[in-house]
Chains A and B, each alone.
Chain A
Amino acid sequence: MKKLFILGLTAFVLIVVASMSLYTVSQVQTAIILEFGKPIGEAKAPGLHFKLPWRNVIWFDKRILDYDAKAREVLTSDKKTLLVDNYAKWRITNPLLFYQTVRTPAGALQRLDDVIYSEMREALGRYTMTEAVSTRRAAIMLEVSERSSRLIAEYGIEVVDVRIKRTDLPDQNLKSIYNRMSAERKRQAKQYRSEGEEEAAKIRSEADRERTVILAQARREAEILLGQGDAEAVRIYAEAYGADPSFYAFARSLEAYTNGLKTRTRMVLVPGSGFFQHLP
């Protein structure tokens, strides 16, 4: 019984000592060892480690961490205000240095905030709004990332990436943009409609012109045909009547009298001559 007790006690002590001297570092962490608050040795790799019982372990996340800043106003070089919302990805590269300078992730975020915001402001201040929004956006992000990373290196931190999520305009500028957009669209709508009118007028007048030409050509052709007909008729008449012009004159005159005196006519006739030679 006594032996058992001693065995139990020994086991207990062993377990306590073991628990104070063994520790694990997970795959996403590094750890540093402190002896009475003073860092000792290198940062530890993942796995099971042994330490002296009176030393402390401080774990750090070694993954890429997130820093999401609040949207803030920045002035561009053409004196326009932009609401810039960026995020940053950062990583603890030197846990020892990190522990000595900023101690905790919260402290690190404070530093990151200061550095990145001032870099962002400085960079955007050198470009116009159009450049910031579209043409030089990627370049600005790269520039800010690199500069921030250099500045923040003294805290054992690496800035992996600074990316601009949003570049928005303050409300009063939104209004003017909307007004401009609206005006632009109205102009476009007008243009489409009047282009339509123009096109339509062209088509209609072209059609009218074509119709006029078609009819005129037809009339011309008709006149030519009629003329040819008349010419032919004249030729035929001349040929026929030319055989005896005096008889033609005689016969045609008679016909003309007959036709000409068809209407109501008053005639004074003297008997005894001509037609009336046989009338006493």
Chain B
Amino acid sequence: MNWDWDKLNSRKPQGPWGPRPGNGPEGPDLDKLKDVLNKLKTPGARILLPLLAVVWMATGFYSIGPAEVGVVLRFGAFHRITDPGWHYHIPYPVEHVLKPEVMAFRRVEVGFLSMQGGRQTQQGQNRSRPEESLMLTGDENIVDVQFIVQYRIKDPTDFLFNVQSQDDTVKHVAEAAMREVVGYNLIDNVLTDKKEAIQLDTLKLMQGVLDRYQAGIYVEAVQLQDVHPPREVVDDFKDVASAREDKNRFVNEAQAYSNDILPRARGEAARIINDARGAQQGTIHRAEGEAARFSAVLEAYRKAPDITRERLQLEAMEHILANQDTDKLLLDAEVANRTTPYFQLAPPEALAGQPAAAPGTPGAPAGQPALRGAP
């Protein structure tokens, strides 16, 4: 129910506000009384007249619904407010009742039109109105803002009597306020984290302006519906978002790489150190073993040095000569002294560069028992 004065007047040409300016005087009660006069001439008027009076008196009963208040006007002037329930007023043309719905929420949509005119709108069924929704931000960017304003009547008399076309007023005020607020914000704030603040600022600004008009309106909520960059640049904005994601992805991948190689490196390091520890122990143990062996042999040797020496030499020689791979050439000492020995070169499949051990030749393996006694 919308108490728009102009509508009211068009519906009832002789409505609560009486004649329109410039129409001159006219008595709405004129015709009625003429009727009554004519009725007087007819028989039965004496019954009819009181009956009419009773009917007329009966029209003074009215009820106010739970969501309304009654505003009673006497001769067009505000007289009293009545609460929900049954009441009586002096019948027309003396008193007249208006019933604004003070509990009902009204809403104004800015920047879009919901396809159905009802209170319930679903997203996506709205038609955008770019001429209303495009706004300049403080950093000279353009943003597309669609929002709704919910309001209700704060003071029924102010609402009814102070401002003409209340709903249009709310819409104008909302548009101006939202643009003012968006005008001092940066585009990134409007699009992201300042939405709450923008809603609140707009609401406060609207309430202030409406109170200055004494419009009797309480702004319940300003809700941003859909805030997005203009169609022409929306892809670029989306790309920024995906670039931000890319950045995170790159960092995470690098982090993953780091998390992969460092434990491996630490493992490798542990392995190296353990290997070294092992080698160290090995070296020491071998040394200890060899030392022990030597000490043992030495002890035995000291008991009979000459014979042990002899024995060890013979064993070593035997061992050397027992090798199947070793060529052995026995020469008589005289022959060896007289001739420059000629040795056939080693067969091709043999290892080259084996020095021939000439008897008595310096550089021949010292201590070789065969050459030791050579004159």
Contact = CB atoms under 8 A, between A and B. Distances in A.
Interface stretch (A119-127, A151-159, A235-243): A235-243
B280 A225 contact: yes
Contacts, number: 403
A239 B97 CA distance: 126
Interface in A150-168: 160-161, 163-168
Contact of A46 (B76, B163, B317, B351): B76
Nearest to B247: A196
A129 B292 CA distance: 100
B266 interface: yes
B370 A273 contact: yes
A266 B356 contact: yes
Interface string A132-165: 0111011000000000000000000000110111
Contact of A133 (B136, B165, B366): B136
B52 interface: no
Given A26-B73, A222-B276, A236-B291, A207 B30 contact: no
B176 interface: yes
A64 interface: yes
Interface stretch (B116-124, B178-186, B218-226): B178-186
Interface string A14-27: 01101110111111
B244 A178 contact: no
Interface stretch (B58-66, B146-154, B308-316): B308-316
A161 B270 CA distance: 81
A226 B279 contact: yes
A253 B367 contact: yes
Contact of B284 (A4, A56, A182, A233): A233
A218 B137 CA distance: 60
Contacts of B288: 236
Interface in A225-254: 225-226, 228-230, 232-234, 236-237, 239-241, 243-244, 247-248, 250-251, 253-254
A38 interface: no
Interface string A172-183: 001001101110
Contacts of B142: 169, 174, 177-178, 181
Interface residues of B, dominant DSSP: helix
A225 B273 CA distance: 8
B273 A63 contact: no
Interface size class on chain B is 35 or more
B2 interface: no
Contact of A193 (B27, B230, B246, B268): B246
A200 to B, nearest CB: 4
Interface in B302-361: 302, 305, 309, 312-314, 316-317, 319-321, 323, 325-333, 336, 341, 343, 346, 350-351, 354, 356-359
Contacts of B371: 270, 274
A232 B284 contact: yes
Interface of B: 5, 16-22, 24-27, 29-30, 33-34, 37, 40-41, 73-78, 134-138, 140-142, 160-165, 168-169, 172-173, 175-176, 179-180, 183-184, 187, 209, 212-215, 229-230, 232-233, 236-237, 239-240, 242-244, 246-251, 253-255, 257-258, 261-262, 264-266, 268-270, 272-273, 275-277, 279-284, 286-288, 290-292, 294-295, 297-298, 301-302, 305, 309, 312-314, 316-317, 319-321, 323, 325-333, 336, 341, 343, 346, 350-351, 354, 356-359, 365-374
Interface of A: 4, 8, 11-12, 15-16, 18-20, 22-29, 45-48, 56-61, 63-66, 68, 87, 89, 129-130, 133-135, 137-138, 160-161, 163-169, 174, 177-178, 180-182, 185-186, 188-193, 195-197, 199-204, 206-208, 210-211, 214-215, 217-219, 221-223, 225-226, 228-230, 232-234, 236-237, 239-241, 243-244, 247-248, 250-251, 253-255, 257-258, 260-277
18 contacts: A25-B18, A25-B76, A134-B137, A138-B180, A161-B209, A165-B179, A178-B142, A181-B141, A193-B243, A193-B246, A196-B250, A211-B261, A211-B265, A215-B269, A267-B321, A274-B368, A274-B369, A276-B330
